[in-house]
Amino acid sequence: QKEVEQNSGPLSVPEGAIASLNCTYSDRGSQSFFWYRQYSGKSPELIMFIYSNGDKEDGRFTAQLNKASQYVSLLIRDSQPSDSATYLCAPLKAAGNKLTFGGGTRVLVKP
Amino acid sequence: GAVVSQHPSRVICKSGTSVKIECRSLDFQATTMFWYRQFPKQSLMLMATSNEGSKATYEQGVEKDKFLINHASLTLSTLTVTSAHPEDSSFYICSARDFRGNIQYFGAGTRLSVL
């Protein structure tokens, strides 16, 4: 079992729709969770982070966390073509205080 | 967000040469910096964790004598790829963690091509 599981995609969504990305993790000790966006050929950039169970909204992005289910998700509302990228889920491992990256979900927003 | 500067952005070198990559946190102090490698269509692979003033901690399978890491100050870490070979060609990315929290910010990356 991988430490962080993400559907590789591509997740194809029409412009203006909601993109829903899921992530499960194996380390029950993880307390902080990060979502990064990576455009092709570029380095990751931080989208948002979440520490507590429930929802956290930041602009068009909403992160959802359920520690009991070891599940974290990211919703992108009103998707734009510029949102087309790979989204990386990264829990912070309790041991070593290091990020563990999933393989990423590639999102394709079609005009 | 915080800014992490990584230089150079691209390097092309001959096999057997050494390449140094710099990573600087520009507007915050980073007690910990991380070095990642990413091959095409794969996720980031952590190579080593670098703490200011101490030796780097390397992940399993990463040769510490080949990938030399120095973290001499709270704003600068360097990665030297010694005696580079074509199989070392990859995208190397550094990140820095703000000492006030757990957020990691990434540099723009260095694309290394060894001929």
Written as one string, the DSSP assignment of B64-108 is TTTEEEEEEETTEEEEEE-S--GGG-EEEEEEEEETTSS-EEE--
d(CA B62, CA A92): 21
Average pLDDT, chain A: 94
Q: How far is CA B24 from the centre of its chain?
A: 10
Alpha-carbon distance values, B33 to A53, A68, A71, B26, B78 (Å): 28, 31, 27, 13, 10
Band (B52; pLDDT cuts 50, 70, 90): confident
Q: What is the pLDDT of residues B54-111, one digit of tens each?
A: 889 999 999 999 999 998 888 999 999 999 999 999 999 999 998 777 789 999 999 9
Q: What is the pLDDT of residues A55-78, one digit of tens each?
A: 999 999 999 999 999 999 999 999
d(CA B71, CA A64): 36
Inter-chain contact A32–B104, Cβ cutoff 8 Å?
no
Q: Which of A45, A92, A101 lies nearest to residue B44, judging by beta carbons?
A: A101
Inter-chain contact A44–B34, Cβ cutoff 8 Å?
no
Answer for the pair B81, B112: CB distance below 8 angstroms, yes or no. Answer: yes
Alpha-carbon distance values, A68 to A21, A74, B25, B80 (Å): 18, 17, 36, 42
The predicted model gives A7-20 an average pLDDT of: 96
B80 vs A: CB within 8 A: no
| Dihedral over Cα of A30, A34, A86, B85: its sign | negative
pLDDT on residue B1: 64
Of A19-23, A80-84, A90-94, least confident by mean pLDDT is A90-94
Q: Which of A44, A102, A103 lies nearest to residue B106, judging by beta carbons?
A: A44
